[in-house]
Amino acid sequence: MREAGQKTIQSFAFVISVCAAVCFSLGFASEFVRSGQSCEIELENRINPNDAPIASLVRLPGIGVSRAGAIVAYRENFGGKDGGNPAFQSSNDLQKVRGIGPKTVQNISEWLKFE
């Protein structure tokens, strides 16, 4: 009988701790929403694909590590780099990189700059 009572107390304590955790989570979430901060990741500046590292390119929507690596590889192997011409002069030039099509270019064009 004593063991059954102990299990009941443990179950009750578990339910109380879960309820407390949920209440704390809701409290923190509501404070986050009230502070006016957004859950979305926003880019502070536009990214130049002609000199951005992989870590910066990955921040673009729809660009993962492999696509970012492909952009850097294309840029490094670009034939006109010794002539001073950048590999990418507009967003559409990114379509020359394998794995990047018109839809991807459309999604990231607002985050890019070309200098």
Task: List, for residues 56-80, the tens digit of each pLDDT value.
Answer: 999 999 999 999 999 999 999 986 6
3-state helix, strand, coil in the chain (%, to 5): 60, 0, 35
pLDDT score for 39:
47
Q: Please determine, for residue 106, whether its predicted confidence score (pLDDT) is greater than 80.
A: yes
pLDDT surpassing 80 at residue 97: yes
Q: Are residues 35 and 58 in the same domain?
A: no
Q: Give the closest residue to 41 by CA, choosing from 62, 20, 17.
A: 62
CA distance 60 to 15: 42
- Note whether 2 and 28 are same-domain residues: yes
Q: Which of 23-32, 59-68, 82-91, 94-103 has the lowest mean pLDDT?
A: 23-32
Query: Does the model's pTM come out above 0.95?
Result: no
Q: What is the pLDDT of residues 12-23, one digit of tens each?
A: 787 787 767 776
CATH number at residue 76: 1.10.150
Q: Tell me the residue range of the domain where 12 lies.
A: 1-39
How many structural domains is the chain composed of? 2
